């Protein structure tokens, strides 16, 4: 895997045309394009093949499934049928898929959204010992591991602890990535690309810092440089 293969760009736009333009622009710099709820709901499932035709080498369909088992399994079958490389469900529900053949798709368990911090977890009713995001992330990462997920989604701040729990092969995918001088937007648990990779991330997810940059190609290239610099700090296994 090259540093570029580890950069996941979030196509958080409302139309397939906008998504295609971004893929054409950024395909030389980005390893994986992420189709999330906004694009999937507004443009429909055919957006996946349009993103592929525009040049995406790998596609991450980030629907963060969370529902009753029958609905989850049916939705996962449909998602896999679209021919994507990565799909997500909330990690506490990953067990629903433990005996399912997901074809060529890898399942990632979303641990705790990077927009949530301790205050939000308290307001949501978590007991004091799970109001520390890292504690809840590790609890859910263990569920994802037991369910046979290929990996998890967590913030860079938990990447080292999660890598320790899941071992060297797991995918540790980190959103909430910001350049050192970047704005956090609605993200709470943010980190630079370099630090997230040095801490044990296998991939980073970046949306706004590339999409809204004056020069998105240069911003993507800077992210790839950050990935390479972070990887150089990881001790050999």
* Near ligand C5P in 35-94, by CB under 6 A: 36, 62
Catalytic residue check, 64: yes
Residues linked to residue 109 through DSSP beta bridges, in sequence order? 89, 152
Closest CA to 62 of 39, 92, 96: 39
- The count of chain residues that interact with ligand C5P, using the rule CB under 6 A, is 17
Q: How far apart are CA 193 and CA 174, in angstroms?
A: 9
- Helix, strand counts (H, E) of the chain: 10, 8
DSSP, collapsed to helix, strand or coil, labels residue 34 as strand
Minimum CB distance to ligand C5P smaller for 62 or for 194: 62
The least CB distance from residue 156 to ligand C5P, in Å, is 11
Minimum CB distance to ligand C5P smaller for 3 or for 156: 156
| Nearest residue (beta carbon) to ligand C5P | 207
Which of the 8 DSSP states describes residue 108?
A: E
Minimum CB distance to ligand C5P smaller for 77 or for 185: 185
Q: Is 134 in the site for ligand C5P (CB under 6 A)?
A: no
- Report the 10 Å Cβ neighbour count for 17: 11
Select the residue interacting with ligand C5P from 176, 193, 200, 226 (CB under 6 A): 176
Q: How far apart are CA 36 and CA 15, in angstroms?
A: 12
Minimum CB distance to ligand C5P smaller for 3 or for 176: 176
The least CB distance from residue 3 to ligand C5P, in Å, is 18
- Report the 10 Å Cβ neighbour count for 138: 21
Footprint on this chain of ligand C5P (rule: CB under 6 A): 10, 12, 36, 62, 110, 113-114, 153, 175-176, 185, 187, 205-209
């Amino acid at each position: 895997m090259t540093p570029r293969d580890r950069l996941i760009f979030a196509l958080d736009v409302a139309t397939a045309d906008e998504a295609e333009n971004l893929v054409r622009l950024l395909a030389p710099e980005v390893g994986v394009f992420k189709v999330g709820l906004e694009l999937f709901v507004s443009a429909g499932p055919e957006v996946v093949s349009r993103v592929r035709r525009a040049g995406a080498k790998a596609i991450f369909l980030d629907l963060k499934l969370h529902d009753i088992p029958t609905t989850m399994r049916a939705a996962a079958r449909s998602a896999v049928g679209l021919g994507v490389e990565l799909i997500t469900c909330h990690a506490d529900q990953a067990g629903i898929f433990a005996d399912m053949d997901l074809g060529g798709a890898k399942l990632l368990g979303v641990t705790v959204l990077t927009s949530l911090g301790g205050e939000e977890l308290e307001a949501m009713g978590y007991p004091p010992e799970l109001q520390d995001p890292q504690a809840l992330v590790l609890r859910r990462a263990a569920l994802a591991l037991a369910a046979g997920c290929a990996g998890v989604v967590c913030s860079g701040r938990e990447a080292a602890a999660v890598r320790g729990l899941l071992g060297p092969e797991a995918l540790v995918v980190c959103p909430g990535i910001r350049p050192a001088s970047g704005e956090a937007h609605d993200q709470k648990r943010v980190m630079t690309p370099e630090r997230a990779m040095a801490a044990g991330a296998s991939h980073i997810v970046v949306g706004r810092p590339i999409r809204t940059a004056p020069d998105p190609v240069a911003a993507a290239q800077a992210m790839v440089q950050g990935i390479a610099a972070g990887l150089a700090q990881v001790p050999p296994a």
